[in-house]
Structure 1
Amino acid sequence: MRLLSVFRDSLRCFTLSLCLLAVAVTVKADDGVANHEVKGRIVDQAGHPVAYASVALYLPSDSSLVTGAASNDLGEFSIRAAEGRYYLMVRFLSYKDRFISDIQVNKNVDLGDIKIESSFTDLEAVTIEADKPQMELKLDKRVFNVGQDLNNRGATAAEVLDNIPSVEVDVEGNVSLRGSENVRILIDGKPSGLTGLSSTDALRMLQGDLVERVEVITNPSARYDAEGEVGIINIVLKKEKTQGFNGSIEARVGYPANYGLSATLNVRRKKFNYFLTYGVGYQDRQGGGEMNQHFFYPDTTYYYDRIQDRNRTSLSHNIRLGTDFYLTKKSSLTLSGGFNPSQGRNISRNTYQDFDSLRTRTGTVWREEDENATDQNAELNLNFRKTFEKEEQLWTIDLKWENNGEEELADLTEKSSEAGVEDIYQRTSQVNDQTTWLFQSDYIYPLGKDGKFEAGVKINLKDVTYDYSLEDQLSDQTWVVNSEFNNTLTYTDNVYAAYVMAGKKKNKFSYQAGLRFEQAELNTVYAQNNYANKRVFPSFFPSAHFSYEFTEDRSIQLSYSRRVSRPRHWWLIPFFGLADSRNIFSGNPNINPEFTHSMELGWLSQGDKGSILSSVYYRHTDGEIERVVVNDSIGVTRMFPINLGYENAFGLEFTISYKPMKNWNMNGSFNFYRAISDGTYEDVRYYNDAYAWSSRFSSKWKVKKKLNIQTSFNYRSPSTTAQGKRLAMYNWDASAALDILKGNGTLTLGLRDILNTRRRRFESHGDYFSSYTDFQWQSRTTTLTFSYRLNQKKKEDRGRNGSEGGDFDGGGDM
């Protein structure tokens, strides 16, 4: 296959690049001379020597491993190190890690006896120390550590996002942030093959067990891509970096059919770190709903009811592996790759019952689509990272290749109760292919004690091919191509970017300002009619962030950024799905990007028992992309995207955490916003003034030493649209987790949508039609998950505060 051929060729290129870069960096390496001895003796609580304990020395500037050793039979160890400041970590199976900070080496150092404690003596204490804060606030992002959220056990990545404050995922898997779906979704800080062709399907296939944390960036700085009107959601996958061999294994079983197995393994040595993640999952999702539609033409009025049943099965694999090679104390190379094949079958059955103006049934039509889908997503990454003598000075280079292939073959059948109407048989073929190349380089230079200067360049080249064809079966059983639905789309999206940014902290005041330039070159070509549409959009994107700390526990933040949302390639495709022949969606090849000015003011207050983050925000968008519904022909409505006009959106948001007692944590969020949009399309004005709010509440109890219980409730209020109204949606989830096998294993039972209320309901109206729709993607689910940790207990604080990176972190991420 073309995918595998390209994968092999690209692997050769990446391997060659790796070798050349390794030689170049090694020649220029600047190592210090390890002429000092650091020694000590590892003992247990009784003073007995501990043999074969792992002892590792790290640089505090970037937590890079310098050297290491194992204790001998007498518990003694000796390490050679250059002059400098370090921290030391001692690890041994069944013992708590021992962390020793601020080791100054300017002569031989004797640390004496280092006592380590058994991890079985007070398991409850270890567990309490293990919990990271659920939310951490950085200067330009919020970090949510989702690993401790019980409701995420056995869930998909889409369900993990649905538990994040400000983020909403509807029943069809569409992700929105603060009420807008124009949000950029990244994986490990970069566009990923996992979300290449359809982020909705990809997030459902990605197991939540593989997610380490979620970063929500509502007002991104110039360091980040300008794509995404309301911001960026970055999903960070698990990758262990601790010394020695460790990992975890997780298995799940659920009802309706939901089975999965995942493993994360890591081997850390002096010069190398190897990591492997594998996940396989099978799901059988059943959903459906109903629609009541009313058509009122000048000369006739009639109705129809549609009853829909859907069944989607999928078998997906997620393989990610790589290695970190520590060339010197200050430079490293990371080569990683991923492969994500999946297969699925989607069956959609629609029953249409037609009525006249008196609501007398006049006939019934049955339409079925049986689709088989195959996806193959692959990617390769090469990262070079170098630190310098100055603390926090950093240079990174990233190279990435990814390819996403998708093939969908469907058979369609339509039958009518009306006498004399022949059955309809059709078959469709959709073959999609997307290839992306990415080059990025970032540099950070410290300015004085608390300042930084950053600069970087990025090139992202994307090439998409979309083949679509429809065949009709004639009465003599032969198949003919329907020329009206036969075309090939070629779409290129090339973005060239560069940015500069500077920041400083002076006493209680911090600031960060930057400017990013992006030139987007979009080209759309349709083979059938030789139509081409090439557009170039050079744009500047400034950003500014300010923070003032009144006290250690109270601070205020102000930020501004300019953003862009470029059309998704499936919005440009003029073809449409035929599963529902009376309600169709088609693309628009002429839509342009929308540009947004975004401002936000936030207040953080922290106390002994909790914290509250409150924000007010405002967005102004020009060229707003909106989906409209029109009466395409008698009895048929069509939805498609357009550049409508403008939108002004502003809102108020609260995120609260509270710990009323030692074993009880509560978290809640509330978001209220108003959005005013206005524009004209084909002499029809589309004006909307919408008020809406959403909230989430979560509570976690530690009932006993080994048992945790968590429950959460989500609510999304009704809101108006330019053509109707979206009704309220809410759901309640609950989970319980029990630690077993001396703390190495955990059993989790999860219930999602206990009240079976997670449904999408909306009303719409337009010229000569009105409708009401009630749809549910799947009913309530029950999942039992077992996880087992290899050579590790529940994660403890290793001396690094919270998630990786600080307020001014950057370089290589995005």
Structure 2
Amino acid sequence: MKKGLRCFGLVGALVLASPAIDAVAGINRPPIRESRKDQGKIIGKVVEGTSTNTPASFATIALLRTDSTLVTGTTADESGVFIIPNIAPGHYLIRITLMGYDTQFVPNVNVATEASTTDLGVIRLASAVQSLQEVVVRGEKTMIVNDIDKKIINVGKDLLATSNNASEILEKVPSVSLDENGNPMLRGKGNVIVLIDGKPSTLYGNDLPTVLQSFPAELIERIDVMTTPSAKYEGEGASGVIDIITKKTRIRGTNGSMRASLGNDWNNNASGYISYKSGKWGLRASGNAQQRVWMYRRSLERENYLGETTTLLEQTGTGKDRNQNLFGRLGVNYDINEKNSVSASINYSKDYNFNYSFNNNETRLLSGELIQQFDRTANGNSDGNNLSANVDYRRVFSDNDHVLTFTANYSEGVSDGYSEFDQRSDAEELARRQQNLRDNNRQSLFLNTDYTWPVTTRATLEVGLRTRLNSRQSNNAFYTYDVLSDLYTLDEAISNEFGYSDAIHTGYATFTQKSDEWGIRGGLRLTDATQYINQISRGQDFSVHFITLVPSLALTRKLDEERQLKLNYSRRVQRPQADMLNPFTDISDPRNIRSGNPNLRPEFTHKAEVGYSDYEQKGGWGPSLFVDYSNNAITRIRTIDDEGISYTQFANVGRELAYGFETDVSHQLGEKLKVNASGRLFRSEVVSGAANIDNRTWSYSGNLNAFLQLPYDVRASAYLNYDGPRAIAQGTRQGVFVANMGIRKDLLDRKATLSFNMQDILLSRMYKSELRTDTYAQNSLWQRTNRYVGVTFQYKFGKISASGDSDDA
């Protein structure tokens, strides 16, 4: 059904190769001239193993004549279901191949003149018994696959060669970009839920950018992008859901890889991955060590219209962030018997951060007269540890193809931090020294059970229950130096001890029905959530309880084997997170003070899109029209006082609306050049009568990934991205342009790869914003000032990836 996935193995690639290859092989394909009205179709479902019912996703199906010449072929979908349409009456032979399993033949397939459909039922593949030492497969999966409610991005050799971690892969994915802090955005907007194998990424650590930067790229098999997720997925995330799917162990034997990167400014990385499977046991282990150093500059100009006369604040500063992190994963899975399997894993991460900044502050009259001036230097560090343990159980009911899964995950993390501020000025009242001590800890429990019932070969019912329990405590103590006592004394006015916990219980149901031309997936998700807020230092605590209903609907209409139309709708809810609710006052920059808001309410978003897709083996495109509407949107609001000091806090401001056109394009241009691109033209609006906000902006964005095959087995790649301006609560965030490039060469019979990468070649990744209100006008800039230049060596050993993608292991 998905022709774009026909490269999932060497056999599949040869079966579905071009006519030129057929001619070399001596295969004769006379044209079929039978009338289409007499043609029928063949359907069936392929499962892995002789008695389990795990779908054999993306198995290659070849339809042969009785003399073994090829007629046509297709690929099973994620559920193992395949359809071969437009088959002339006659006698045929079916051949099914999938990496790690014996080739399966289905003889005596008869398509009668009077029969419109030939149903082969369930076809079982037998696992290959031999333990392979090495497999070299030249095929590569199509990058983009369009499913009924998501886009599947296969992480191929080019993305891996130019990416060390999940963060670097994500920014190359269509519709995805990163903000200045490394948080993913979908269609230029934040509030994205990131999952890892269907589980919240917060189980790996509370700081998402650190989690993504420490997660090794070679563990990733694919990335599912859902701008209108079904009810099965998290109801949170106003912009959508990103699910990072890791590689699994299927084939017997051992395979793995080692990677080392050396970069300028002490940006280095080393990682390794090994997988072993024998009999009923499978083991996986991986590790990653990374050091990143970034320098940056910032500037701010703000005119203050309050007071007797207009004043101008000018800030200029530089800084340096150094991050060191470790990540380790150990997993084991055991097939208890033909119907039951269990797996367990442990993940550990440790990160250390050091930061330094210098900031000059000058306040002047518009005439240029200096009113105030001070310099502020900050030195700080933080140290965090995160541990998570996961257990998965799977039960297959072979008599009726029902599947029951259960997951339990517990995680905990601690972090400590220290910062010292030295503020110097000729004005004695502006000179001060301060210290900030931070202590944070968290615990999370995630329980999940799903039941899948294939009502028919074309219809599936899924139901599930989720429970998430989270708790967190943050202690922030600010101390000010007293010259008279020569001691640091606690400033209780800006110190804070904050406790937060929540209990979220969810149930969902989705129903999927597919026919030859139509597909529908409808779902409903009911969530009961309670948030407990304890402002310990103020002696105040309260709770918030709410019930939300999240419906989703996806419709598809197949035009032929490659082309389809789809219409999707989903309702999303964005609950305020602990950091948004924490009333702690951050005075790291005394001219720009930030705090949380414990009175925030959830934000609800309606998302809809209608799209078309046409993906073939050599490429295709997927245009769509989309609209997102949020009422009671959560965003940052900045106010200012008479002295020109700004106060930023999250608030429910009003409505946000975004609508426009988006498309992705992938194409193989000849034998040497492959291009993947995406772009969108959209309108963004933020309106709030209460906050006196009315911002509306047209914009455009796009990215381009180009891969060029050069002589001597060298491959070059280029990545260009422009994320256009968009309306924000009190102004406009300007566009951001990024250019990266890489060169790779395969060595040692394609077992090793040497690559050279350069990121932000033009040092153009500058984040600018313009804010305009009745009380102030502000322009700000933040930019990293050191580009990354690095060399990476990767070596692969043992057997290749179970998905049949030799270059992706």
Q: TM-score range by the shorter chain?
A: 0.7 to 0.9
Q: Where does residue 791 of structure 1 map in the other structure?
A: 798
Greater shift after overlay, 334-343 or 422-431? Answer: 422-431
CA–CA distance in 1 between the matches of 2:405 and 2:132? 39
Corresponding position: 1:191 with 2:191: no
Corresponding position: 1:300 with 2:303: no
Task: Give 1:442's match in structure 2, choosing from 442, 447, 450.
Answer: 450
Letter in 1 for 2:439: V
CA–CA distance in 2 between the matches of 1:99 and 1:711? 39
Shift of 1:257: 1.6
Shift of 1:498: 0.8
Letter in 1 for 2:234: D
Percent identical across equivalent pairs?
24
Corresponding position: 1:62 with 2:54: yes
Greater shift after overlay, 455-464 or 705-714? Answer: 705-714
Q: Where does residue 460 of structure 1 map in the other structure?
A: 468
Is this contact kept in 1: 2:330–2:345, CA < 8 A?
A: yes
Shift of 1:497: 0.7
Residue 430 to residue 400, structure 1, CA distance change in 2 (3 Å): same
Corresponding position: 1:179 with 2:188: yes
Unaligned runs of 5+ in 2: 1-47, 58-93, 108-125
Q: Where does residue 337 of structure 1 map in the other structure?
A: 346
Q: Match of 1:484, SS? A: coil
Task: Give 1:311's match in structure 2, choosing from 320, 341, 345.
Answer: 320
Corresponding position: 1:202 with 2:211: yes
Letter in 2 for 1:201: T
Letter in 1 for 2:754: L
Residue 291 to residue 331, structure 1, CA distance change in 2 (3 Å): same
CA–CA distance in 2 between the matches of 1:203 and 1:759? 21
Q: Match of 1:571, SS? A: helix
| Number of aligned residues | 706
Is this contact kept in 1: 2:248–2:802, CA < 8 A?
A: no
Q: Superposition pairs for residues 215-234 of structure 1, below 5 Å?
A: 215-234=224-243
Q: Match of 1:328, SS? A: coil
Unaligned runs of 5+ in 1: 1-55, 66-84, 91-96, 105-110, 804-814
CA RMSD of aligned residues (A): 2.9
Shift of 1:390: 4.7
Q: Where does residue 474 of structure 1 map in the other structure?
A: 482
1:674-717 Cα distance to aligned partner (Å, 9 max, x none): 22332244xx3112222222101111112136211111110122
Residue 423 to residue 271, structure 1, CA distance change in 2 (3 Å): same
Q: Where does residue 40 of structure 1 map in the other structure?
A: none
CA–CA distance in 2 between the matches of 1:779 and 1:346? 15
1:429-454 Cα distance to aligned partner (Å, 9 max, x none): 12111111111110011112211111
Corresponding position: 1:426 with 2:429: no
CA–CA distance in 2 between the matches of 1:796 and 1:459? 32
CA–CA distance in 2 between the matches of 1:410 and 1:745? 44
Is this contact kept in 2: 1:295–1:768, CA < 8 A?
A: yes
Q: Match of 2:209, SS? A: helix
Residue 505 to residue 173, structure 1, CA distance change in 2 (3 Å): same
Corresponding position: 1:775 with 2:782: yes
Shift of 1:719: 2.9
Letter in 2 for 1:798: G
Letter in 2 for 1:429: L
Task: Give 2:727's match in structure 1, choosing from 697, 713, 720.
Answer: 720
Shift of 1:114: 13
Shift of 1:767: 3.8
Q: Match of 2:200, SS? A: coil
Corresponding position: 1:757 with 2:764: yes
Shift of 1:266: 0.9
Q: Where does residue 542 of structure 2 map in the other structure?
A: 533
Is this contact kept in 2: 1:193–1:377, CA < 8 A?
A: no
Q: Where does residue 742 of structure 1 map in the other structure?
A: 749
CA–CA distance in 2 between the matches of 1:492 and 1:360? 51
Corresponding position: 1:291 with 2:283: no
Q: Match of 1:297, SS? A: coil
Shift of 1:477: 1.4
CA–CA distance in 2 between the matches of 1:669 and 1:60? 40
Letter in 2 for 1:447: V
Letter in 2 for 1:456: G
Residue 392 to residue 660, structure 1, CA distance change in 2 (3 Å): farther
Shift of 1:209: 4.2
Corresponding position: 1:247 with 2:256: yes
1:88-140 Cα distance to aligned partner (Å, 9 max, x none): 989xxxxxx88523489xxxxxx9x99999989xx7xx43x1x2111111111
Shift of 1:239: 4.2
CA–CA distance in 2 between the matches of 1:661 and 1:792? 31
Shift of 1:58: 6.4
Q: Match of 2:344, SS? A: strand
Shift of 1:265: 0.7
Shift of 1:734: 0.7
Shift of 1:799: 9.9
Shift of 1:423: 3.4
Q: Superposition pairs for residues 609-624 of structure 1, below 5 Å?
A: 609-624=618-633
TM-score normalised by the chain length of structure 1: 0.82
Q: Superposition pairs for residues 625-774 of structure 1, below 5 Å?
A: 625-632=634-641, 634-681=643-690, 684-704=691-711, 706-774=713-781
Q: Where does residue 28 of structure 2 map in the other structure?
A: none
CA–CA distance in 2 between the matches of 1:487 and 1:63? 52
CA–CA distance in 1 between the matches of 2:446 and 2:300? 44
Q: Where does residue 36 of structure 1 map in the other structure?
A: none
CA–CA distance in 2 between the matches of 1:556 and 1:391? 32
Residue 728 to residue 422, structure 1, CA distance change in 2 (3 Å): closer
CA–CA distance in 2 between the matches of 1:87 and 1:331? 25
Residue 210 to residue 503, structure 1, CA distance change in 2 (3 Å): closer
Letter in 1 for 2:626: Y
Residue 499 to residue 63, structure 1, CA distance change in 2 (3 Å): closer
Shift of 1:502: 1.4
Shift of 1:226: 0.7
Residue 100 to residue 459, structure 1, CA distance change in 2 (3 Å): same
Q: Match of 1:485, SS? A: coil
Is this contact kept in 2: 1:631–1:767, CA < 8 A?
A: no
